[in-house]
Amino acid sequence: MKLRNFLLAWCSLCLKFLNRHFSTKIIIKAFVGAFLLANFIFLSLLENSLADFCSPFLTLAGIYIIINLPRAGFFTAGFFTGILWFYWISFSFIYYELSFLIPFVIIFVGLIYGLIFWLASFPSFVALRAVMLFLVSYIHPFGFNWLNLEATLVLGIFEPSVRGLIFVFLAAIALACLPKIYKFIAAFVCLVCALQFHTPAYKSLPFKIKLENTQISQDLKWQKEMKNEFINENLALIERAIDGNFTAIVLPESAFPLFMTHEKNLVAELKEKSHQITIIAGALAYEDKLSYNSTFVFSDGQMTRLDKFILVPFGEEIPLPKFIKDTINRLFFSGASDFATASSVSDYELAGAKIRNAICYEATRDELFSGEFDAMIAITNNGWFVPSTEPALQRLLLKYYATKYVKAIYHSVNGSPSEIITPKISVFDKF
């Protein structure tokens, strides 16, 4: 109760401060700019070619509006951007019986990105503010890198890269700073330079692979009485994949909601089935008093465990000093410890192909794409955040990384569609 009262009082003070320093006009403009910057997330849900084409031009409009805002407007635009992109982070608190924290978490996320955008407002000139906004977008609080403006160009005709984003920003600067007779010509030239001219050639896996999709609610997944039912459902999926002559089956993150290292009978059964099909599935592991979020690969009667390398900030680890981390875990997570991690990225062989293992969030990190491999197999549990736009943003980010590193990503998911994500096709190749 004391914590709740403190949070309510803090929120009230913030609202008084906002009323004193921010006008309605600034707030409306900032919201419009932030919404246009986030448009690609919402338009991707339509799966419409015209909406996809329009999306990056709306992003350009959003950048133009934001760089012309006063300093308070920059903060407000960042505040709304943080909320529009990441409001769903708070939904996970439902499953810790902390639903009352949802509005405070949303506001906290907004404030973080508000401060990041505010840093870009210090130069006096619009062009310098645009440059600063471009630069601060690469600040990733607590290592969470999902605010990625390059990914706003995944839809449409422009290249989702540093080059593409630079020229979109230059177009916004031209529209904001140059005289009328020149601004549209300069902006047009910049946008031509931002086009994606080529489709990168990537490798596909040369065998039949079954990407399973499950729709298990997070509030049911870890109920002990449901454990055997989920095991049996997974075994039935494996049998159907065997009947379909698939070389491999991929089950989502934590598809087996248990510590696989404690399940000798289940491991023995999966090893037996792996003589007929390679089984790739998510589960937990426990070793030396440490817990791991892991991928288990069963092939030719053998089991290989591949642990997660990069954890989700505030989801699987608390990226703060130990004394603060321990306090947060004790107050909010019943004293649970952070997950342990692998020492490096993990690969395995599958029918002659070198596969990069990825579990959920880490599939959207540059570190996971280092070194040589043929394709990535990623497993995800989006049950924490559905229904929301989180799966759409994740899919767009995976498309961005698939394009950036020229890799196919085979993605098996709980809570949202499973699919093979490939590099973006150039408009010149598409038409």
Q: Which amino acid is at 103?
A: P
Alpha-carbon span 395 to 411, nearest angstrom: 9
Residue 360 annotated in active site: yes
Q: Which tokens is 9 given?
A: 């009082």
Strand 213-214 versus strand 409-414 pairing type: parallel
Q: Which residues contact 74 (CB under 8 A, 6 or more apart)?
A: 30, 66, 117, 118, 120, 121, 129, 133
Amino acid (one-letter) located at 241: A
Please state, in angstroms and as integers, the Cα–Cα distance from residue 57 to each residue in 98, 149, 288, 369, 374, following that order.
40, 13, 53, 30, 34
Q: Which helix (H) or strand (E) holds 106?
A: helix 102-119
**Which one from 210, 221, 273, 308 is the annotated catalytic residue?**
308
* 212, 221, 360, 407: the active-site residue: 360
409: enclosing H helix or E strand: strand 409-414
Q: Which of 150, 159, 212, 253 is catalytic?
A: 253
Tokens of 409: 């990503």
Cα angle for residues 304, 233, 247 (degrees, 5° grid)? 50
Residues found in the chain = 431
CA atoms lying within 13 Å on the CB side of residue 278: 21
Q: Is 307 helix (H, G, I), strand (E, B) or coil?
A: strand
Rounded distance between C-alpha atoms, residue 58 and residue 380, angstroms: 30
Instruction: Name the burial class of residue 42, with classes exposed (0-12), middle (13-18) and buried (19+) by CB atoms within 10 angstroms of its CB.
Output: middle
| 253 is an active site residue | yes
Here the tokens at position 395 are 């899919």
Q: Which residues, in sequence order, are bridge partners of residue 294?
A: 283, 307
For residue 350, give the DSSP letter. E
Structure tokens at 53: 């084409």
| CA distance linking residue 84 with residue 118, whole number of Å | 17
Residues designated catalytic: 253, 308, 360
